[in-house]
Structure 1
Amino acid sequence: MKAKTVLPAVAMTAVSMALTLAVVMLWLGPVMPWPVALVVGLGIDGGWLATLAYDRRLASQGDHNPAVTAIGWAFGLVATGVLVAHALTAEESTGAWLAVAWLPLAAKALWVVHSLWERTALTPTALDTIQGIQQTARDEAAVARARLRAQAATEETRLTAVTQAGARVARVQAQTARTLSEAWSTLEEARTGEGTNRALTSVTTPVTPDVTPGVTPRWELPVWGPSEPVPDRALESGPALTDDALDALVDEIRHSDDPALSYRDTATRFRAAGHSASETRLRAAWKRVEAA
């Protein structure tokens, strides 16, 4: 891996050194002996190569010297200046020579990039460890996402089932309420009908002879509706009412309004007044009073 990263910098350095030497020979050859021009070109390339070697040695030791770095850039600028000066003085192909004048600076920049890579390079073991950690993190994230999606789907299914069940319960309750309301309406119509009590009495008279002497058997349909619990006064202190006293109270309460009160209203007012009697005695007293 290190060879792959250093090869571009080495290749660029070789090309820029060869180009610098060739330009110095072409530029200075006509005005001075070629050995002198060769020495000048090799001096520029040699100085640049020497400072580059010193800089690389310091970098391999984990050290850095600003003076060496500055000198290396200075040699690069000199080589670039030579190329630019030759391009400007050339009678032909000025643009082509300017196009390659940046190569020395580019080579130096590649060595800087290579140094940065070396300072951040990791061993294969460390890279494998990092890749393993990243893969583990990706796996855990994928599992967490799958778990969340499954939980969301489960919760959605549960809410849908609960909603549907609630809707079914509401429909059943509504149907039950309608049925019960119809039954109450039918029972109320039957209870308040003119011939209902007479018809029930005529039907039950043959099977209930002599229930109470002098009293005609009578049936009443139950009344459906809201009711309040009646307090149990059987354990309250005080003497129990006699049948005559009970009949008198029931008659007084029943005829306190016009028309006479029904048994239900009579029983409610009887108990609200603080009197106590069993349901059987109170109903028997009300029947006696009504028959009288």
Structure 2
Amino acid sequence: MRATTMLPAVAMTAVSMVLTLAVVVMWLGSAVPEPVALVVGLGIDGGWLATLAYERRLAAQGDHNRTVTGIGWAFGLGATGVLVTHALTGEESAAWLAVAWLPLAAKALWVVHSLWERTALTPDALEAIQGIQQEARDEAAVARARLRAEAGTEETRLAAVTEAGARVADVQAKTAETLSQAWATLEKARKGEGTGRALTSVTAPVTPGVTPRWELPIWGPTQPVPALEAAPALTDEALDALVVQIRDSEVPPLSYRETASRFRAAGHAASEVRLRAAWKRVTTAAPDGPHVGSEGRS
């Protein structure tokens, strides 16, 4: 990389010095002896080369001197002035003007080379920078891939949720339609002229004297009914007392089936096993013994 910027500057400087020497010799050769003209040309080139070497030495030390830089630019401008003057006073002015800018171009190339040297890094530093840049690119690529994957997953999830919601809405709509049709059928049957007669013909043999009542079930929000508190279990003594009270409420005493029916109708609770055991205890402990008619009815 160092030769990339240094070699063009060296080549341009060499060409500029040769042109300057040639122009000075041709220009002053007719007025002064050629050795004198050659010395003048070499003096211009030598001064330029000396200031350039001194600038390179300061640059190698990490230093800079404006005076030396100004002298170097002065030699470059002097060489350019010599070339331009020769081009304007000579016969082939266009050709000489085309190369008159070479001294300034050589000086500019040395400036570019100096700037490169000030910013040049060692191979280790360049490798470290490349590693950092590659790591940053890798992290950015991984982050982009993660974001794309998360976006794809979220899109899939939203699509699945939307599809499931659509299916649920479709099922609810069909269910509502079916229920509305069923309710319409029930309402039509309730308001029909033959509904009352049909109910009467069915219920009359079972429940004589009861007028059938047709009501549609409730469809809609309902009020929750508070749970009933469980009644405390009856002791054996209390259960026996209740069985005796119910059994002896009529004459002759009631059968077991009638006693059990009235026991439950009164709101008492007891298992069938305990109730039958209480019946046996009561009937066994009765002074006149079990009533034949009562047991026969049970």
The TM tier, using the shorter chain, reads 0.7 to 0.9
8 A Cα contact 2:58 2:64, kept in partner = yes
Secondary structure of 1:225 counterpart: coil
- Deviation of 1:5 after TM superposition, in Å, equals 1.8
Question: For residues 30-81 of structure 1, what are the alpha-carbon distances to aligned partners after superposition, in whole Å with 9 as ceiling and x for unaligned?
Answer: 1111110010000000000001111111111111111100000001111111
- Deviation of 1:153 after TM superposition, in Å, equals 1.1
Which 4+ residue blocks in structure 1 deviate beyond 2 angstroms?
203-206, 216-232
8 A Cα contact 1:188 1:223, kept in partner = no
Letter aligned with residue 218 of structure 1: P
Counterpart of 2:28 in structure 1 is: 28
Q: Distance in 2 between matches of 1:227 and 1:139?
A: 60
- Deviation of 1:203 after TM superposition, in Å, equals 2.4
- Deviation of 1:198 after TM superposition, in Å, equals 1.5
Residue 108 to residue 229, structure 1, CA distance change in 2 (3 Å):
closer
Q: Distance in 2 between matches of 1:165 and 1:201?
A: 49
Residue 112 to residue 201, structure 1, CA distance change in 2 (3 Å):
same
Counterpart of 1:131 in structure 2 is: 130
Q: Distance in 1 between matches of 2:155 and 2:86?
A: 79
- Deviation of 1:223 after TM superposition, in Å, equals 3.6
Question: For residues 96-134 of structure 1, what are the alpha-carbon distances to aligned partners after superposition, in whole Å with 9 as ceiling and x for unaligned?
Answer: 001101111110110001000000000011111111111
Q: Distance in 2 between matches of 1:12 and 1:39?
A: 22
- Deviation of 1:164 after TM superposition, in Å, equals 0.8
Counterpart of 2:216 in structure 1 is: 222
Please say if 1:196 is aligned against 2:190: no
Q: Compare CA radii of gyration and give the structure with the larger one.
A: 2
Q: Distance in 2 between matches of 1:17 and 1:74?
A: 14
Question: For residues 229-277 of structure 1, what are the alpha-carbon distances to aligned partners after superposition, in whole Å with 9 as ceiling and x for unaligned?
Answer: 4978x99xxxxxxxxxxxxxxxxxxxxxxxxxxxxxxxxxxxxxxxxxx
- Deviation of 1:194 after TM superposition, in Å, equals 2.1
Counting only pairs closer than 5 Å after superposition, residues 94-109 of structure 1 correspond to structure 2 as 94-109=93-108
Letter aligned with residue 222 of structure 1: L
Counterpart of 1:41 in structure 2 is: 41
- Deviation of 1:201 after TM superposition, in Å, equals 1.9
RMSD: 2.0
Question: For residues 193-240 of structure 1, what are the alpha-carbon distances to aligned partners after superposition, in whole Å with 9 as ceiling and x for unaligned?
Answer: 22202212202334x1xx45xx146353434434654978x99xxxxx
8 A Cα contact 2:5 2:109, kept in partner = no
Letter aligned with residue 100 of structure 1: V
Counting only pairs closer than 5 Å after superposition, residues 22-171 of structure 1 correspond to structure 2 as 22-90=22-90, 92-171=91-170
8 A Cα contact 2:5 2:112, kept in partner = no
Q: Distance in 2 between matches of 1:183 and 1:195?
A: 19
Secondary structure of 1:195 counterpart: helix
Residue 219 to residue 60, structure 1, CA distance change in 2 (3 Å):
same
How many positions carry a matched residue from both structures?
229
Residue 17 to residue 188, structure 1, CA distance change in 2 (3 Å):
same
Secondary structure of 2:204 counterpart: helix
Question: For residues 128-180 of structure 1, what are the alpha-carbon distances to aligned partners after superposition, in whole Å with 9 as ceiling and x for unaligned?
Answer: 11111111111111111111111111111111111111111001000000100
Q: Distance in 2 between matches of 1:196 and 1:116?
A: 109
Q: Distance in 1 between matches of 2:224 and 2:52?
A: 111
Q: Distance in 2 between matches of 1:146 and 1:139?
A: 10
